[in-house]
Amino acid sequence: MYFNELARKWDTDIRIERGKLLAKSIYKNIELKKDITALEIGCGTGLITMELREILKEIYCTDISKEMLKVLKEKIEKYKADNIHLINNEAVYKEEFYKYFDLIYSSMVFHHIEDIEKELCKIYKILKRNGILIIIDLDEDDGSFHKDEEEFRGYNGFNRETLKIILEKQRFKKIKFETVFRGEKKTKDKLIQYSLFLCIAKI
């Protein structure tokens, strides 16, 4: 798996700084309280969650990459972050977690998900009433961002209005977007510009 191979090299200076900025964009957009139980979908090495660990009561983390989770587990042990829990991708959607989470967030994950509507349906079930979903992802582009990644089979970012319609179809409301990051990525033949949006939605 692509992410397994990159896990030990994932935490570059650029990604660390971006993780800090995105974590700030999350807690600026919600009313944070110490009793919030959160879930990060596609946590990777935990760059965002580690920034939020002292703000949130409990954080559950899931990822399809076992190697990424190994790196995060090492961080949890190193920093004694006992309020961060690793959980299986499928287990978190079981009935025992229905209406369990106050906050669910993800970063650069949704453009990898094949069936977004199905994923949102599952997320809706495990969010508490008045719960918050935060999606941070790529604005739609021409495919340049993933051009050099032969294994990539996802979306070339998202049109914000299209994503809003999909969220509304799955009963999410009070949906709003804002740009939270602008960056550059070097590909084989050029330097491209890209932007990330933060989408916040409630149930």
Which one-letter amino acid corresponds to residue 135?
Answer: I
* 3-state SS, one letter per residue, for 106-159: EECCHHHCCCHHHHHHHHHHHEEEEEEEEEEEEECCCCCCCCCCCCCCCCCCEC
Q: Does the pLDDT of residue 1 top 60, yes or no?
A: no
Per-residue model confidence (pLDDT) at position 187: 83
Residue of 180, 174, 33 lying closest to 108 (CA atoms): 180
- In tens, the pLDDT along 23-73 reads 999 999 887 676 999 999 999 999 999 999 999 999 999 999 999 999 999
Q: What distance lies between CA 185 and its chain's CA centroid?
A: 19
| Percentage with pLDDT > 70 across the chain | 97
Question: The pTM is what?
Answer: 0.94
Per-residue model confidence (pLDDT) at position 78: 97
- Beta-strand pair 58-62/84-86: parallel
- In tens, the pLDDT along 93-108 reads 999 999 999 999 999 9
Q: What is the Cα–Cα distance from 43 to 68, expressed in whole angstroms? A: 8
CA angle, corner 167, sides to 185 and 54, nearest 5? 65
- In tens, the pLDDT along 166-194 reads 999 999 999 999 999 999 988 888 898 99
